Amino acid sequence: AQSVTQLGSHVSVSEGALVLLRCNYSSSVPPYLFWYVQYPNQGLQLLLKYTSAATLVKGINDFEAEFKKSETSFHLTKPSAHMSDAAEYFCAVSLYNQGGKLIFGQGTELSVKP
């Protein structure tokens, strides 16, 4: 069965610093991978998705993620953190012929210090 592991439930960075949020997946077949962001008391918003077209995926707000099959990883990065990036981030996997349902990791809370 597929699963998603996010390393680090809390990450804290200074404003302007690099953001790195880690995600590893387990799947017996090629997965589709997603990163979602959730602001307090809000629903989830899609940041970016990997659908096998390109291993480096660019998303909204200067976020990007790189699919590495050999490492079964899909880490999320942003070159320079902004205060408004403080939120909960979820990595998710979806498989072909699974109805489009998403399997989520447990989430990483990102704090940005001034």
Partner 1 sequence: DTGVSQDPRHKITKRGQNVTFRCDPISEHNRLYWYRQTLGQGPEFLTYFQNEAQLEKSRLLSDRFSAERPKGSFSTLEIQRTEQGDSAMYLCASSLGGGANTEAFFGQGTRLTVV
Where do contacts with partner 1 occur on this chain (CB under 8 A)?
4, 9, 32, 36, 41-46, 49, 51, 90, 92, 94-107
Rounded to a whole number of angstroms, the minimum distance from the CB of residue 6 to partner 1 is 8
Short-list 4, 30, 17, CA closest to 86: 17
Decide whether 81 or 95 has the Cβ nearer to partner 1: 95
Rounded to a whole number of angstroms, the minimum distance from the CB of residue 25 to partner 1 is 13
User: Contact at 8 Å (CB) between 14 and 113?
Assistant: yes
Rounded to a whole number of angstroms, the minimum distance from the CB of residue 4 to partner 1 is 8
Q: Work out the burial of residue 78: count CB atoms within 10 Å of its CB; fewer than 13 is exposed, 13-18 middle, 19 or more buried.
A: buried
CA 25 and chain centroid, separation? 11
Decide whether 26 or 45 has the Cβ nearer to partner 1: 45
